[in-house]
């Protein structure tokens, strides 16, 4: 290490120049390659069997998330003014380049009205020309109310709102399109008419706008906050500036590399700059804190000797803490979710970049700029200053009251352990937004007045052609739809080939409600489908059944993308699996709603794997560093306590685990272990020097206790900046990780400290 330090000291200006050039190149990469990704499909592992099957089904039945435009008229939609808006808005949306076919836009103006006519079937739109008379509007209203395929699905039950569904081409949603749709929709507002825009693409579009705004808002806040706290902690302008340069450079390098590799910014990776600033500053704090103490203790040492002492004594703890922090993040590579993998890899890179810059840039900068001023002693002798006195008293009190401390810790772990059992997973994108966000209110309006904004697709595959002309199969499908809707409040309704059959059977029998059933005669059902095609029915029938009637798609609409509702719906549907199998029909799932549930399972599996691997690797690293497996186990005490508390808080506060809060475990372990490493390292040094338990206790608490308390304060305040985020998971993450850092710090200076002392570790006598 001495040779490397001399190399840095002899070439300080050249090294600083090279680091600045790398940073400028990284900034150029950020500027030229910056891209956001909010499409939920890109979060999914394409090789997963569930997603492969879903993609095939989506292609077969043209399953795509729709943009929903709701038109509300306080006086009812059945009037000339509102119908003009429905027609004009439908045509304007149909003209968009991203709309592949006019049939991709479904509204009251384009929907099929299946009616009976002199023993035949008539399929026409509800209106083409704007009605001029009250009687005509009443006729249309009566037709809508009696049409089960339109009532509540396209027109609300109270007749005051109607929906326009718009499917767009795959991968065509952009921020520009998002703004264009909002502009088109809202220009029709007024005269008692309100417009609401909802649907998964709109959620993704809103995220694409809010994410960069969030980053721009939080980055300067965390910079300012860390600068202020660093100055108060280090009491040196020079040390503060150098520390901030280290974390800013590491953040720029990380984002520059990620974007240069063609990896866009996902929701989790948008947190990287804030995290690296909060985490990366820890190395600088420990190094400058040590340097300042040595300046005060050894005023006769030269600048070179002080820098050499700082780098030699701090190299091992800084390296180990950085490696363990990186391991905490890298453990998330076990996840199958791409954004979490990217977050893990590049945050780990950023932590190691901060370590490199701390060990290279700080010595070089101090060599060029000179030694920072050491904080003035509060007393004439450091050994008797206020902090040392208090730290010594605290150390003695911990050991004296060790039984109370351990007992209280056990009670805390039991309480939060119970909370862990209440943790649930929710991958709802909408749940990311505050309740007062207009998008949330819009979605709530659509869910309250229509069948729902989220779709679960049930794919039924038969072994024989024309299976879905079989009355038995169709009746089981009907029972499936009725029972699932009845058993789940989240389900607004369903649509399948059964609805077409029941509608045709009704209208061809004098529109009598008692004929809204499935005919017993298979040949009659086949004739109905033939009539439908001959009558000019739209291609929407093929959205629910294949042209050989061997595969069917049952669409369930849910009132929101909450995972609890989705899970309940899936469970109810799967109860029919054996019944369909008995008829030679296989039941599977597809669509975004189902993908969310698979996504949930992947999050949970990834969490379990990352926790297990990170604990094992951290124990091994600490064991190697301190050459003792016992020390490796002791070092994980604070993060073990913190992990249980963090997940217990999620459970007790009903905060779901999702792609952002799923990062908590890795952060808790990766950062929290730093305190233990620095504390144990200093305890070992003091013990070997003095071989006196009491002196070791007091000196360690005064030296490392001071440094890690400063570290904890900076990291806690840094993560609290996330509470200013526009996204609820980020707020939860910031608050809980800040609490985690506090519990890791407390666990280090209490429980772990007691175990070190009581275990007589590194003490060879009983002095």
| CA 322 to chain CA centroid, nearest Å | 25
Is 70 exceeded by the pLDDT of residue 623? Answer: yes
Percentage of the residues of the chain whose pLDDT score is greater than 70: 97
Banded pLDDT at 323 (limits 50, 70, 90): confident
**pLDDT of residue 580 exceeding 90:** yes
Q: Give pLDDT, residue 406.
A: 94
Mean pLDDT of 725-735: 82
pLDDT recorded at residue 385: 66
Among 167-176, 186-195, 692-701, the least confident range: 167-176
Q: Quick one: pLDDT at residue 1?
A: 64
Q: Are 407 and 158 in contact (CB under 8 A)?
A: no
Q: Is pLDDT at 763 greater than 90 in this prediction?
A: no
**Range 110-135 burial, b when 16+ CB lie within 10 A, else e:** bbbbbbbeeeebebeebbeebbeeee
Residue 379 has a pLDDT of 45
Give the residue from 252, 225, 236, 251 showing the smallest Cα distance to 287. Answer: 236
**Contacts for 528-532 with beta carbons within 8 Å, 24 or more apart?**
528/121, 528/500, 528/501, 528/504, 529/469, 531/120, 531/121, 531/504, 532/114, 532/121, 532/123, 532/500, 532/504
pLDDT at residue 381, rounded to an integer: 45
Tell me what pLDDT residue 659 has.
66
Integer-rounded Cα radius of gyration of the chain: 32
Determine the pLDDT at residue 611.
80
pLDDT, position 383: 44
| Res 380 pLDDT > 60 | no
Domains and their CATH numbers in the chain? 2-40+205-421+598-758 (1.20.1640.10), 61-199 (no CATH), 451-591 (3.30.70)
Q: How far apart are CA 215 and CA 722, in angstroms?
A: 10
* pTM, to two decimals: 0.77
Q: Is the pLDDT of residue 606 over 80?
A: no
**Highest-pLDDT range among 195-204, 675-684, 725-734:** 675-684
Integer Cα distance of 238 and 253 in angstroms: 23
Is the predicted pLDDT of residue 557 greater than 50, yes or no?
yes
* Nearest CA among 718, 736, 734 for reference residue 726: 734
- Residue 378 reports pLDDT greater than 60: no
What would the pLDDT profile of 110-163 be if each residue is shown by its tens digit?
A: 998 998 877 688 888 899 999 999 999 999 999 999 999 999 999 999 999 999
Q: Say if residue 239's pLDDT is above 70.
A: yes
Sign of CA dihedral 378, 383, 386, 387: positive
The Cα–Cα gap between 672 and 635 comes to: 10
- pLDDT of residue 384 exceeding 60: no
Residue 346 neighbours by CB distance under 10 Å = 23
| pLDDT, average across residues 496-508 | 95
Maximum mean pLDDT: which of 353-362, 623-632, 675-684: 353-362
- pLDDT number for residue 362: 94
Pinpoint the alpha helices (H) of 103-199. Answer: 134-145, 175-186
Higher pLDDT: 766 or 144? It is 144
Comparing 44 with 643, the larger pLDDT belongs to 643
- Residue 392 pLDDT: 85
pLDDT of residue 388: 76
Greater pLDDT, 239 or 610: 239
* Calpha distance 545→565 (Å, rounded): 26
Q: What is the pLDDT of residue 279?
A: 81
* Sequence-separated (6 or more) residues with CB below 8 Å from residue 650: 419, 423, 656, 657, 661, 664, 732, 736
Question: What is the residue whose two structure tokens read 């805390």?
Answer: 412
Q: How far apart are CA 277 and CA 154, in angstroms?
A: 50
Percent of the chain with pLDDT over 90: 43
The per-residue pLDDT for 480 is 96
Helix (H) / strand (E) containing 30: helix 12-33
Q: What are phi and psi of 457, to 5 degrees?
A: -105, 125
DSSP secondary-structure letter at 111? Answer: S
Conformational region of residue 728, where left means phi above 0, alpha means psi within -120 to 50, and beta covers everything else: alpha
Q: Kindly tell me the burial class for residue 14, based on how many C-beta atoms sit within 10 Å of its own C-beta (0-12, 13-18, 19 or more).
A: exposed
In sequence order, what E strands does 496-598 have?
A: 551-558, 585-590
The string of DSSP letters for 601-646 reads HHHHHHHHHHHHHHHHHHHHHHHHHHT-HHHHHHHTHHHHHHHHHH
Q: Please report which confidence band the pLDDT of residue 375 belongs to, taking 50, 70 and 90 as the band edges.
A: low
Q: Are 377 and 246 in contact (CB under 8 A)?
A: no
> Which pLDDT value is given to residue 160?
95
Averaged pLDDT of the chain: 87
Q: Are 239 and 187 in contact (CB under 8 A)?
A: no
């Amino acid at each position: 290490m001495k040779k490397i330090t001399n190399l840095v000291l002899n070439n300080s200006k050249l090294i600083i120049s090279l680091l600045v050039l790398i940073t400028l190149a990284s900034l150029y990469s950020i500027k030229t390659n910056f891209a956001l990704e909010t499409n939920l499909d890109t979060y999914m592992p394409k090789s997963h069997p569930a997603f492969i099957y879903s993609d095939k089904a989506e292609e077969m039945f043209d399953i795509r998330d729709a943009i929903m435009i709701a038109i509300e008229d306080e006086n009812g939609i059945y009037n000339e003014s509102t119908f003009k808006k429905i027609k004009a808005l439908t045509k304007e949306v149909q003209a968009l380049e991203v709309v592949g076919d006019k049939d991709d836009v479904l509204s009251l103006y384009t929907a099929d009205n299946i009616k009976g006519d002199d023993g035949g079937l008539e399929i026409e739109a509800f209106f083409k020309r704007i009605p001029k008379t009250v009687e005509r509007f009443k006729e249309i209203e009566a037709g809508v109310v009696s049409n089960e395929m339109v009532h509540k699905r396209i027109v609300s039950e109270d007749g005051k709102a109607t929906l326009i569904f718009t499917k767009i081409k795959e991968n065509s949603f952009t921020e520009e399109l998002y703004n264009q749709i909002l502009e088109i929709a809202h220009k029709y507002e007024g005269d008692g008419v309100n417009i609401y825009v909802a649907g998964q693409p709109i959620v993704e579009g809103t995220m694409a706008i809010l994410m960069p705004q969030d980053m721009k808002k939080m980055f300067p806040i965390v910079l300012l906050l860390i600068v202020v706290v660093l100055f108060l902690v280090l009491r040196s302008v020079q040390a503060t500036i150098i520390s901030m340069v280290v974390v800013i450079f590491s953040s720029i390098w990380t984002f520059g590399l990620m974007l240069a590799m063609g990896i866009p910014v996902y929701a989790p990776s948008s947190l990287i700059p804030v995290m690296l600033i909060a985490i990366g500053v820890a190395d600088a704090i420990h190094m400058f804190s040590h340097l300042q103490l040595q300046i005060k203790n050894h005023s006769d040492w030269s600048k070179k000797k002080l820098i050499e002492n700082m780098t030699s004594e701090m190299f091992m703890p800084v390296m180990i803490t950085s490696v363990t922090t990186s391991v905490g993040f890298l453990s998330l590579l076990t996840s199958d979710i791409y954004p979490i993998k990217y977050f893990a890899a590049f945050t780990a890179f950023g932590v190691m970049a901060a370590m490199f810059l701390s060990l290279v840039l700080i010595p070089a900068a101090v060599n060029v700029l000179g030694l920072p001023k050491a904080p003035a002693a509060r007393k004439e002798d450091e050994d008797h200053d206020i902090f040392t006195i208090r730290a010594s008293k605290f150390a003695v009190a911990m050991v004296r009251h060790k039984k109370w401390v351990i007992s209280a810790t056990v009670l805390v772990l039991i309480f939060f352990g119970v909370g862990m059992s209440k943790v649930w997973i929710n991958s709802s994108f909408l749940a990311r937004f505050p309740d007062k966000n207009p998008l949330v209110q819009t979605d709530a309006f659509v869910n309250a007045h229509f069948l729902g904004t989220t779709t679960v697709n049930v794919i039924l595959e038969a072994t024989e052609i024309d299976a879905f002309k079989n009355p038995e199969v169709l009746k089981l499908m009907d029972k499936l739809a009725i029972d699932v809707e009845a058993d789940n409040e989240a389900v607004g309704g369903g649509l399948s080939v059964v609805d077409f059959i029941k509608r045709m059977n009704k209208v061809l029998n004098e529109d009598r409600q008692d004929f809204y059933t499935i005919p017993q005669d298979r040949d009659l059902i086949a004739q109905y489908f033939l009539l439908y095609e001959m009558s000019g029915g739209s291609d929407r029938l093929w959205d629910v059944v294949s042209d050989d009637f061997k595969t069917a798609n049952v669409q369930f609409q849910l009132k929101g993308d909450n995972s609890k509702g989705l899970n309940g719906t899936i469970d109810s549907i799967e109860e029919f699996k054996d019944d369909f199998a008995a008829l030679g029909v296989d039941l599977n799932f597809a669509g975004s709603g189902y993908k969310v549930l698979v996504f949930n399972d992947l999050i949970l599996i990834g969490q379990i794997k990352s926790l297990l691997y990170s604990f094992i690797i951290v124990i091994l690293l600490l064991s190697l560093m301190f050459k003792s497996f016992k020390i490796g186990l002791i070092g994980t005490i604070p993060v073990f306590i913190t992990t249980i508390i963090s997940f217990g808080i999620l459970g007790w506060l009903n905060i779901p685990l999702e792609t952002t809060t799923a990062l908590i475990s890795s952060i808790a372990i990766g950062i929290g272990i730093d305190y233990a490493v620095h504390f144990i390292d200093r305890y070992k040094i003091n013990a070997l020097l003095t071989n006196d338990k009491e002196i070791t206790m007091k000196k360690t608490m005064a030296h490392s206790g001071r440094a890690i308390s400063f570290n904890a304060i900076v990291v806690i305040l840094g993560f609290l900046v996330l509470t200013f985020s526009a996204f609820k998971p980020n707020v939860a993450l910031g608050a809980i990780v800040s609490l985690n850092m506090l519990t890791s710090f407390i666990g280090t200076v209490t429980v772990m400290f007691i175990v070190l002392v009581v275990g007589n570790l590194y003490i060879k006598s009983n002095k």
